[in-house]
A = this chain, B = another copy of it.
Amino acid sequence: MRSIMFKNGVLYALDSSRLPHREVWLKLRNANQVASAIREMRIRGAPLIGVAAAYGLALEALKYRGKDANRLREIVLKTSEYLKSVRPTGRNLSWAIDRCLKAIEKEGAVDGIKKRLLEEAEKIANEDVETNLKIAKNGLEIIMDGDKILTHCNTGGLGTVEYGTALGIIRVAWEKGRRIFVIATETRPLLQGARLTAWELKKYGIPFKLICDSMAGYVMSMGMVNKVLVGADRILSTGHVANKIGTLTLAILAKHYGIPFYVAAPFSTFDFTTKPQEIPIEERSPEEVTHFAGRLVTVKDVEVINPAFDITPPELISGIITEKGVIRPPYSENIPKFINKS
């Protein structure tokens, strides 16, 4: 089942923020609605955000009733900038938008632009599924029978169009008969691990236990984990990985205990120009930390630090699993070798 679908001029997206209690499908009809859904993390996961943004651009173009291709192009460009700004850290969002813009570069007619944008969005969505299956297949190389895998946040079918990245590997490894056990971190503040990863793992019948994020050191110290596998929101050519807040903590713990730490992501997550210190780290609303289900859980007016991401340096990463294979360190040397690989 896909988590996003375009049908009769409407974009249907499963509302992640309502899971696991309710399966609500959002009906999105323009770029603004798509942007809001992304901002509110109803649509989340770097690859899925990219796909949704591409559809958002198409929706906005489809709304245009005029005949002026230049005017439509202006609308598309303005919408592109707006969509890109919604969540700055993840790479796939701007990657998908840029790809759509490129697709219409040589289109002169209004209908052609509309058609091309929708086609490109569909293509990005379909490719996401194929890419994830390739990542999963390549990931089998590092998943052994008996593995006890710790994963963070949600990197499954709910954060992509289908299958997922890190969780896609886990799912396919399980389906291929690898007897694995998963430890899922709850992933504060928005509990994507407790809400989404637990929901997926249960659905697939994969044995797992849920922990609070702070327990990662404990489970590693007790020998309950022999591999860490996470996704990524942006990967630099140096091998620096921006991912859900808490990833860096897990990588340091894994290093301390000599546990291999793997990242799984498609090449659409790679950013070959930005430097580590230039990655924009999105700071989200304090209420995500101070409130739960609308209830204040601390004192009033408390100041909060709420970065949505952190950056894990390459020296803590054992390998990056992509659709083109598993990239090993040194990353500055090996990532370029994979770029043009088929």
Instruction: Looking at the assembled complex, report how far the CB atom of A258 sits from the nearest CB atom of chain B, in whole angstroms.
Output: 12
User: With an 8 A cutoff between CB atoms, is A199 at the interface?
Assistant: yes
Instruction: Looking at the assembled complex, report how far the CB atom of A49 sits from the nearest CB atom of chain B, in whole angstroms.
Output: 21
The contact size tier of chain A is 35 or more
Which A residues, 178 to 221, have Cβ-Cβ distances below 8 Å to chain B?
A: 183, 185-189, 191, 194-195, 198-199, 202, 208-219, 221
Q: CA separation between A310 and B211, bound complex, in Å?
A: 13
B305/A199 in contact, CB under 8 A:
no
- Residues of chain B within 8 A of A293, CB atoms compared: 292-293, 295, 297
Contact flag A307-B213 (CB < 8 Å), given A191-B297, A256-B252: no
User: With an 8 A cutoff between CB atoms, is A311 at the interface?
Assistant: yes
Q: What number of copies of this chain does the assembly contain? A: 2
User: With an 8 A cutoff between CB atoms, is A253 at the interface?
Assistant: yes
User: With an 8 A cutoff between CB atoms, is A303 at the interface?
Assistant: yes
Contact flag A305-B183 (CB < 8 Å), given A195-B298, A252-B252: yes
Instruction: Looking at the assembled complex, report how far the CB atom of A278 sits from the nearest CB atom of chain B, in whole angstroms.
Output: 15
The 3 closest A-B pairs by CB, nearest first: A214-B246, A217-B249, A213-B214
Interface residues of A (CB under 8 A from B): 20-21, 183, 185-189, 191, 194-195, 198-199, 202, 208-219, 221, 224, 245-246, 248-253, 255-256, 289-290, 292-293, 295-299, 302-307, 310-311
